[in-house]
Structure 1
Amino acid sequence: MTDRFALVPASYVYLLRDGAGGTEVLLQRRGPVPYMPGHWAAAAAGHVEPGETAYDAARREALEELGITDVALEFVLTMQRSQFGPAVEERVDWFFTARSWNGDPRIVEPEKAASLGWFALDALPEPMVPHEAHALAHLTSGVGYLTFGWDARPTGGGPLGTVEAGSPETKGGKR
């Protein structure tokens, strides 16, 4: 019998606003944390806990990490990603955007986040968490399913119409 892999679910919240040069996204620079310290990432994100929906997790993370409530979430896309290592490396991520919320976003967990900043979607800061840069590149593309990590395998990613990181469709960031 083949062992089944473990699937680790997470939700991401990208707060958006209209800026002088177009749509801007609120990002956090990760602090001294084990995964990608110093990289820019969603201002609010985290694992879906047992008994939670992806929406519940997104709202909880927005409150825990940014101190905001009543987040008007809009589902944008799902990403399936892998590093083809230990079972824990198989993941599914739900990405949401919001243009409306109550409260002023702030760093609530200073031990995890070094700073917050608004950035134009077409001028993201460096370094970015790689799979999040891939998601942000497709945030407004209408693609509902992305893969990340399958481009290293000879057989490639998903069915026709899906977009894999590193594929010709993603060169230059936009499809």
Structure 2
Amino acid sequence: MSAKLEDKEIQEIVRRTVHQTLGLSAESNVSTIDSLKPVVPQINSQKLTVAIGTDHGGVDLKEILKQHMINLGYEVIDCGTHTKDAVDYPDIARAVAEQVASGKAWRGVIIDGAGIGSCIAANKVPGIRAALCYDHATAVNSREHNNANVLTLGAGLTGANLAQQILKTWLETDFGGGRHAKRVDKITAIEKACLESGK
């Protein structure tokens, strides 16, 4: 069984690899290299909280993903539902989105049959950037390019194993910033302008 690497060791490996790739000397002091941070959130020193909710169509998947997040070291706020009795997905989407918008949760996860309706509903809550993801690439893109703070999944379209992979990738992918930050700022500006004009 291999020994677990410490964060400092990982950062040093990344630093050396980047230096070698860029052809820099080991002593080079390049700010972009010095500012490199691991993609995995620092959940050992402070647990991050994720809100999760589902309509009746995703109760089983919610329980699997909830346990998956707990195993990864996250705190979880369960916004329901807890039975397979019919409920309306907009109510659940709003409950999760408001946890994120208020700052009570770091991020949110919403499940319904296809993931589409919950995504639409969550995006009506100011401050929310919800993204429907269905594979590794969309999970990475939604975080890296769009700084999505809510993930929606379709229980009827995504199996439990794939959903766990998508969720882990989505939680551990950082926002890329740079040119993407300008575009996310424009999304926020649209939202602000609409709120101010009452539209």
Q: Shorter-chain TM-score: which interval?
A: under 0.3
Q: TM-score, normalised by structure 2?
A: 0.25
Q: Which one has more relative contact order, counting CA pairs under 8 Å at least 6 apart?
A: 1
Q: TM-score, normalised by structure 1?
A: 0.27
Give 1 or 2 for the bigger CA radius of gyration: 2
Normalized per residue, which structure has more helix?
2
Normalized per residue, which structure has more strand?
1
